[in-house]
Amino acid sequence: MKTTLDELLAFTSVVDSGSITAAAEQLGQTASGVSRALSRLEEKLDVTLLHRTTRRLELTEEGHAFVQQARRIVASVEEAEEQMALRRQRPAGRLRVNAASPFMLHVIVPLVPGFRALYPDIELELHSSDQIIDLIEQRTDVAIRIGPLRDSTLHARPLGSNRLRVLASPGYLVQWGAPQTVEELSERSVLGFTQPETLNQWPLRHASGQHWQTTPTVKASSGETLRQLAIEGVGLVCLADFMTHDDRAEGRLVQVLEAHTVEVRQPIHAVYYRNTALASRITCFLDYVSEQMKS
The structural domains of the chain, with segments of one domain joined by +, span: 5-89, 97-153+272-294, 161-266
Question: Considering the chain, what is the average pLDDT of its residues?
Answer: 88
Kindly state which CATH superfamily the domain 97-153+272-294 is placed in: Periplasmic binding protein-like II (3.40.190.10)
Same fold for the domain at 5-89 and the one at 97-153+272-294?
Answer: no
Which pLDDT value is given to residue 282? 86
Q: What whole-number distance in Å separates Cα of residue 199 and Cα of residue 104?
A: 19
* More reliable by pLDDT, 295 or 113: 113
Cβ atoms 188, 215 nearer than 8 A: no
Q: What whole-number distance in Å separates Cα of residue 258 and Cα of residue 180?
A: 10
* More reliable by pLDDT, 275 or 97: 97
Q: What whole-number distance in Å separates Cα of residue 114 and Cα of residue 111?
A: 6
Structure confidence at residue 198 as a pLDDT band (50, 70, 90):
confident
Mean pLDDT of 145-150: 82
Is the alpha carbon torsion for 146, 151, 154, 156 positive or negative?
Answer: positive
Is the model's pLDDT at 51 over the cut of 90? no
Residue 36, CA distances (Å) to 3, 39, 226 in order:
13, 5, 70
Mean pLDDT of 248-271: 94
Q: Which of 182, 280, 155 is nearest to 238 (CA)?
A: 182
Is the alpha carbon torsion for 17, 18, 23, 24 positive or negative?
Answer: negative
Q: What whole-number distance in Å separates Cα of residue 95 and Cα of residue 77?
A: 24
- For 131, which DSSP code? S
Which neighbouring-strand residues pair with 165? 239
Mean pLDDT of 206-210: 85
Mean pLDDT of 244-272: 93
Which pLDDT value is given to residue 212? 92
150-187 pLDDT, tens per residue?
Answer: 766 778 899 989 999 999 999 999 999 999 999 999 99
Query: In CATH, what class is 5-89?
Result: mainly alpha
Which pLDDT value is given to residue 274? 56
User: Which CATH number is associated with domain 161-266?
Assistant: 3.40.190.10
**Contacts of 115 by beta carbon, 8 Å cutoff, 6+ apart:** 122, 124, 285, 288
Structure confidence at residue 76 as a pLDDT band (50, 70, 90):
confident
What angle is formed at CA 224 by the lines to CA 108 and CA 97, rounded to 5 degrees?
30
Which pLDDT value is given to residue 193? 94
Helix, strand or coil for residue 109? helix
Which pLDDT value is given to residue 295? 66
Q: What whole-number distance in Å separates Cα of residue 46 and Cα of residue 293?
A: 61
Q: How far apart are the first and last CA of the chain?
A: 52
